[in-house]
């Protein structure tokens, strides 16, 4: 009996030492950073505001040559005023093939023979969001053009430059690419970004290019601004037929908006650096991670929820969302 306990204790110690060693090695590898940052170029989309704007400023301070794609002249001017001479901007609409091609030709001239170290597909839109039945096909398409097709087109056009530098593709998905919590094109597009990124990573793993996925939780940006969300919900409601409105009930819209306000005011984090730090690590680490979960709601709520059985998620959302007047 004593010999059995002694052997069991020894095995436990060996296992504990192995786990501790594994953790120490992981942390060591995770903190290794690349060198010669000042010789590397990074292209970022969606830099007018939010994550993209902040990321460009942080990469500029790190010494990267930042190529920032902005949708508007104002966004480009604001960014240039806040950064140094190594940051350059171009006007980019990721829904336009011509705009992407123009940005690509400009980038080729900027990077020369070095190639492009990083492509950060950050540009995105969230609206319209709401019950799926309220949407028209155009409502889905307007979001998918930016969040899904835009990401794919940017990646496929810029990939030869990234491949030349043996660099990184960093795609911004969302926790709503793990848990489909509402209707509209947003969740669909973010699930697509997750899938596209996984396929791309596996296809090119022998070429020394890393593909990283950023999965932010809820943060206070233009994407989660309440006024546009409420305007879009009113627009969607107003385009419904009388029969559909009757099935939901006159008070459903107000209840739905109140829940959106509660969620955004309760969960949304104002510290955008939690997301940009993940993006920086994906670009700077010798061994970048495959996925980065940004925000406490992502780590403690959405990601664990994504591993739950579908029925658990269904029940949770049913308890949160208002009940239609003519529900079964």
Q: Distance between the two ends of the chain, CA-based, in angstroms?
A: 62
28 is catalytic: no
Token pair listed for 7: 């052997």
154-170: buried (b, 16+ CB within 10 Å) or exposed (e) per residue?
A: bbebbbebbbebebbbb
Token pair listed for 126: 């969230």
Report the C-alpha gap between 140 and 133 in whole angstroms.
11
Token pair listed for 21: 């060693």
Smallest CA-to-CA distance from 100 within 47, 55, 53, 158 is with 158
Q: Which of 4, 28, 186, 292 is catalytic?
A: 186
282 within 8 A of 25, measured Cβ to Cβ: no
CA dihedral 318, 235, 123, 182 (to 10 degrees): 10
What residues are labeled active site?
Answer: 186
């Amino acid at each position: 009996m004593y010999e059995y306990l002694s052997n069991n204790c020894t095995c436990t110690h060996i296992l504990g030492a192995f786990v501790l060693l594994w953790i120490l090695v992981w942390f060591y590898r995770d903190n290794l950073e690349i060198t010669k940052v000042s010789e590397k170029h990074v292209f970022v989309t969606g830099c007018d505001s939010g994550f993209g704007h902040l990321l460009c400023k942080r990469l500029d301070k790190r010494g990267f040559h930042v190529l920032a794609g902005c949708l508007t002249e104002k966004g480009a001017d604001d960014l240039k005023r806040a950064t140094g001479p190594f940051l350059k901007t171009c006007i980019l609409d990721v829904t336009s093939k011509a705009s992407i091609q123009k940005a690509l030709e400009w980038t080729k001239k900027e990077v020369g023979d070095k190639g492009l170290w990083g492509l950060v597909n950050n540009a995105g839109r969230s609206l319209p969001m709401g019950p799926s039945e309220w949407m028209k096909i155009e409502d889905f398409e307007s979001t998918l053009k930016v969040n899904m097709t835009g990401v794919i087109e940017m990646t496929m056009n810029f990939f030869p430059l990234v491949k030349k530098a043996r660099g990184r593709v960093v795609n911004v998905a969302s926790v709503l690419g793990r848990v489909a919590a509402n209707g509209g094109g947003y969740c669909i597009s973010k699930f697509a970004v997750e899938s596209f990124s996984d396929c791309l990573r596996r296809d090119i793993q022998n070429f020394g290019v890393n593909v990283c996925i950023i999965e932010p939780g809820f943060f206070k940006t233009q994407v989660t601004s309440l006024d546009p969300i409420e305007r879009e919900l009113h627009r969607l409601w107003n385009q419904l037929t009388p029969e559909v409105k009757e099935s939901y009930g006159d008070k459903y819209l107000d209840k739905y908006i109140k829940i959106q306000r509660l969620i955004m005011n309760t969960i949304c984090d104002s510290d955008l650096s939690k997301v940009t730090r993940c993006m920086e690590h994906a670009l700077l680490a010798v061994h970048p991670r495959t996925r980065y979960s940004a925000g406490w709601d992502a780590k403690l709520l959405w990601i664990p929820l994504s591993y739950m059985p579908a029925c658990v998620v269904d029940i949770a959302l049913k308890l949160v969302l208002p009940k239609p007047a003519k529900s079964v």
